[in-house]
Amino acid sequence: MIEITTKAMGKISVSEKNFIDIPEGLFGFEEYKKYTMVNSEYEPFLWLQSVENQNLAFLIIDPFLICSDYETDIDDDLLSKIGIEKPEDIIVMTIVTVPQDGSSITANFQGPLIINKNNKKCMQVILSDNKWSTKVDIMKNLKSQLEGTKC
């Protein structure tokens, strides 16, 4: 176990086997490559915490919890960069934005995180399908799901 300082929870112990390697970094944060996923106090959200910068953390969520018909059509050559060989190897997460002004909490469905659950390598991709937005209203979509309508 390694002790790291997090943005949200102070010092915590994490196993190196839970580290996520993002070889190309996240868009706008390319210099940071090592992260870990940490439970948030608000399920089902998680923190994607940088191991290299304690002040860098992203709230993330499984997009399929918000929108059951969410799709990511990603080229196999692109996925091979992080060793993805079959769909079962993939974990998809989206970055959440919680605005300071109290407006809607949103998830970035246009730029999901693709994680290889076998080797813990990750990449952020930009989907070519214009159907998905960078600002999907989480509460509005959860309500739609409950009412049986599509995202």
**The two structure tokens encoding residue 28:** 């706008």
CA-based radius of gyration for the chain = 15
Dihedrals φ, ψ of 15, to 5°? -85, 140
User: Collapsing DSSP states into helix, strand and coil, what is residue 6?
Assistant: strand
User: Collapsing DSSP states into helix, strand and coil, what is residue 137?
Assistant: strand
Query: What is the pLDDT, as a whole number, of residue 35?
Result: 97
Return the higher-pLDDT residue of 17 and 35: 35
Question: Is the pLDDT score of 149 beyond 80?
Answer: no
Query: What is the pLDDT, as a whole number, of residue 143?
Result: 81
Query: What is the pLDDT, as a whole number, of residue 142?
Result: 83
Identify which of 8-12, 87-91, 112-116 has the greatest average pLDDT: 112-116
Which range is least confidently modeled, 5-9, 21-25, 63-67? 5-9
- Using CA atoms, how far apart are residues 119 and 127, in angstroms rounded to an integer? 23
Average pLDDT over residues 97-107: 92
Query: What is the pLDDT, as a whole number, of residue 145?
Result: 74
What confidence tens digit (pLDDT) does each residue in 25-76 have? 999 999 999 999 999 998 999 999 999 999 999 999 999 999 988 999 899 9
DSSP 16: G
Question: Is the pLDDT score of 148 beyond 90?
Answer: no
- Using CA atoms, how far apart are residues 29 and 145, in angstroms rounded to an integer? 33
What confidence tens digit (pLDDT) does each residue in 112-146 have? 999 999 999 999 999 988 889 999 999 898 887 77
CA geometry: angle 6, 106, 24, nearest 5 deg:
55
Average pLDDT over residues 86-112: 94
Contact assessment for residue 111 and residue 149, using Cβ atoms and an 8 Å cutoff: no
